[in-house]
């Protein structure tokens, strides 16, 4: 079988460092009966050691050449391949199909060129997810786990922290991959959790947060002009003169719920 040539359009950088692979598998701690799904299995750097522990592994892979490679290497009863774009894949339907508990475990070296939209897509299925262990660009992981008043704190931080508890686990250097990416990487663990205050309208929360961070250097009052009146800020005790990165997740939820209850967004 001829070697696979990494495809830039799919953001392919293949993990090859065995020490890093062992560390990642240790973080995941797969158990034989886990309903586990790997996103972007690539050349099976994680797939093989996962299959050494699991009865069955499901994989979502868009590249047909990689699907052919994996099909030739692993039996269909061990590795179940879904030749599909992960950005459009219905993880809820798969969870209903393969997980007695209704929840799946997700792992993967996510394509860096689509990591943000993919994370937002996966957040839609938080109630069907037990946990996630992902390799991502380190810069993205820092944004995911950033606290308010940190330069990395932004729309991604707010929306993912609403759905997940997240923890950076490992740093991974470029030379752990082929071809080496031009950025550092990291492993992040994501565990869904019920947020302390539920948004009455999730779409409204997403819209407000996106608007708030539309111009990071401006204040909340300026960015949300026409959406949130000064009286709404005052009613909740929120300083409209601060920048969006200074407002905690809870206050974004409180503000959205208040607007929804009074005037709508």
Task: From 147, 166, 192, give the residue that closes a domain.
Answer: 192
Range of the domain at 61: 8-192
Within this chain, do residues 26 and 149 fall inside the same structural domain, yes or no? yes
Counts of helices then strands in the chain (DSSP H, E)? 11, 9
Mean pLDDT (whole number) for 14-35: 96
pTM: 0.92
Task: From 138, 170, 192, give the residue that closes a domain.
Answer: 192
Question: Which pLDDT does position 11 carry in this prediction?
Answer: 45
Distance between CA atoms of residues 144 and 190, nearest Å: 10
Distance between CA atoms of residues 168 and 186, nearest Å: 7
**Which has the higher per-residue pLDDT, 36 or 11?**
36
In a domain, 114, yes or no: yes
Q: Which two tokens stand for residue 113?
A: 């060129």
Within this chain, do residues 124 and 226 fall inside the same structural domain, yes or no? no
Within this chain, do residues 156 and 235 fall inside the same structural domain, yes or no? no
Q: What is the pLDDT of residues 99-146, one digit of tens each?
A: 999 999 999 999 888 999 999 999 999 999 999 999 999 999 999 999
70 torsion bin: left (phi>0), alpha (psi -120 to 50), beta (else): alpha
Q: Cβ of 2: how many Cβ atoms within 10 Å?
A: 6
CATH of the domain at 251: 1.10.8.100
Task: From 192, 213, 239, give the residue that closes a domain.
Answer: 192
136 by Cβ neighbours in 10 Å (0-12 / 13-18 / 19+) ranks as buried
In a domain, 241, yes or no: yes
Please check the confidence at residue 213 and state whether its pLDDT lies above 90.
yes
Q: Which two tokens stand for residue 67?
A: 């699907």
**Distances from the Cα of 209 to the Cα of 116, 125, 195, 220, 257, angstroms:** 15, 20, 16, 10, 12
Within this chain, do residues 31 and 137 fall inside the same structural domain, yes or no? yes
Please check the confidence at residue 74 and state whether its pLDDT lies above 70.
yes
Q: Which residue has the tokens 């539920």?
A: 198
CA neighbours within 13 Å on the CB side: how many for 119? 34
Question: Which pLDDT does position 190 carry in this prediction?
Answer: 98
**Residues 67, 38 contacting (CB under 8 angstroms):** no
Within this chain, do residues 186 and 208 fall inside the same structural domain, yes or no? no
Q: Supply the DSSP symbol for 264.
A: -
Mean residue pLDDT across the chain = 93
Question: Which pLDDT does position 9 carry in this prediction?
Answer: 44
In a domain, 54, yes or no: yes
Question: Which pLDDT does position 264 carry in this prediction?
Answer: 61
For the chain, what percent of residues have pLDDT higher than 70?
95
- Give the total number of structural domains in the chain: 2
Query: Which residues are paired to 98 by β-bridges?
Result: none
Please check the confidence at residue 20 and state whether its pLDDT lies above 90.
yes
Full strand arrangement of the beta sheet holding 129-137:
79-83, 57-61, 36-39, 104-109, 129-137, 185-192, 164-172
Distance between CA atoms of residues 91 and 96, nearest Å: 9
Please check the confidence at residue 208 and state whether its pLDDT lies above 80.
yes
């Amino acid at each position: 079988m001829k070697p696979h040539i990494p495809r830039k359009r799919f953001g392919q950088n293949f993990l090859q460092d065995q020490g890093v692979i062992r560390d990642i598998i240790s973080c995941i701690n797969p158990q034989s009966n886990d309903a586990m799904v790997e996103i972007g299995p690539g050349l099976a750097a994680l797939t093989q050691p996962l299959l050494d522990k699991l009865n069955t592994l499901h994989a979502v892979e868009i590249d047909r050449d990689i699907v052919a490679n994996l099909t030739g290497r692993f039996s269909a009863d061990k590795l179940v391949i879904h030749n599909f774009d992960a950005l459009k894949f219905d993880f809820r339907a798969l969870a209903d199909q393969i997980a007695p508990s209704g929840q799946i475990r997700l792992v993967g070296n996510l394509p860096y060129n689509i990591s943000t939209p993919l994370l937002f897509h996966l957040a839609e299925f938080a109630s069907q997810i037990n946990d996630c262990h992902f390799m991502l660009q380190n810069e993205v992981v820092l944004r995911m786990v950033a606290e308010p008043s940190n330069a990395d704190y932004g729309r991604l931080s707010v929306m993912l922290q609403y759905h997940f508890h997240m923890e950076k686990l490992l740093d991974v250097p470029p030379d752990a991959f082929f071809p080496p990416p031009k950025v550092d990487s990291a492993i992040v663990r994501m565990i869904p959790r019920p947020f302390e205050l539920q948004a009455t309208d999730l779409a409204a929360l997403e819209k407000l947060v996106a608007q708030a961070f539309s111009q990071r250097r401006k204040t909340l009052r300026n960015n949300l002009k026409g959406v949130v009146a000064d009286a709404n800020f005052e009613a909740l005790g929120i300083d409209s003169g601060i920048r969006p990165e200074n407002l905690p997740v809870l206050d974004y939820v409180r503000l959205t719920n208040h607007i929804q209850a009074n005037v709508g967004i």
